[in-house]
Amino acid sequence: KNSTKIDRNKNKILILGANGFLGSNIIQLRSENKVIFKDFSFIAANLHNNYIDKAVPFYHIDITHQEDVYNKIVNLSPDIIVLTAALTNVDQNEKDKRLATKINVEGPKNVVKACEQIDSKLIFMSTDFVFDGEKKGYYTEDDIPNPISHYAKTKLDAELAIKNSDIDHLICRTAVLYGWNNEKLNFVTWVLKKLHDKERINIVTDQINNPTYVRNLAEIILKLIEKKASGIYHTAGDDALSRYEIAIKCAEVFEHDKNLINPIESLKQVAIRPKNASLNVTKLKEFLGSELKCLSLLEGLNDMKNRR
């Protein structure tokens, strides 16, 4: 008997990295909004169980441990696996390349092996950083990646391992996730905290990305699963902005003093970042049609403000 009380008629979705920023938002959506997801049943997996929604079965899975991953996933045999677990701190990836490769490349390869065995579909979260940022204009799904940091290399290696396998897959490239988060600050919540505390901040004008509202991304992923999307999609916010422009928008929406924000040319950071990794989200928007909007920064910030 299956201890997880799974309804066989439902799509069983395993979230790897369920305690992370995106994973927890996917599960939170499920608990807020039973109707849309009536055909899905969720299973959460993570390294640590500081876990909120007790209605969702929880498993301890370490993606870097090949046997653990294989045995548990084959045993659960989910229809779909959403892999959000990763080492995402770009500078930390540069400093500890071996650990980064273990988590970001070997981890996904371990998951792919399990998927091959049970014929699960894999949804993999990737990044706009796979591009070098030298293109004039927005990157489409057909542009050739050229990673310039170790983090970006690991994510591309994982993408390629998935693409070159025989499994049904969906690769979602996203960027600069923001939204309320109890665990740790993201760029937007860090800016809001500093402005709230009336602290001056230096913000770069030379890094351009699509800020992506985490709740919107969670909905987009579930919608893509529901509509059986596969291949590569750029799943990011609807506008590409510099970090400075993002900070200014935060000040405007939350009515803080814009003069606290000081534009600077560039920061000395450990890992090199693409200058302009703007993602073209046309393919996503056309696929979603009128069913779901891809939010702009202004729309995302306003939603955050309403949920404060």
Tens digits of per-residue pLDDT, 224-283? Answer: 999 999 999 999 999 999 999 999 999 999 999 999 999 998 778 888 899 999 999 999
272 belongs to a structural domain:
no
Domain count along the chain: 1
- Judge whether 3 lies within some domain: no
Could you tell me the pLDDT band of residue 36, with boundaries at 50, 70 and 90? low
- Do the strands 80-83 and 212-213 form a parallel or antiparallel pair, or are they unpaired? unpaired
Q: What tokens appear for 269 in the block?
A: 């950071």
Contacts of 274 (CB under 8 A, 6+ apart): 128, 129, 131, 132, 133, 134, 148, 152, 207
Residue 293 has pLDDT above 50, yes or no: yes
Bridge partner list, 169: 122
Q: What is the pTM of this model?
A: 0.94
CA distance 277 to 227: 27
Domain of 216, in residue numbers: 11-178+212-237+280-295
- Identify whether 28 is part of a domain: yes
Give 113's pLDDT tier (boundaries 50, 70, 90): very high
Asked if the structure places residue 139 within a domain, the reply is yes
Could you tell me if residue 247 is inside a domain?
no
* Res 3: pLDDT: 41
Which CATH number is 132's domain given? 3.40.50.720
User: Looking at the domain assignment, is residue 193 inside a domain?
Assistant: no
Residue 37: helix, strand or coil by DSSP? coil
Banded pLDDT at 34 (limits 50, 70, 90): low
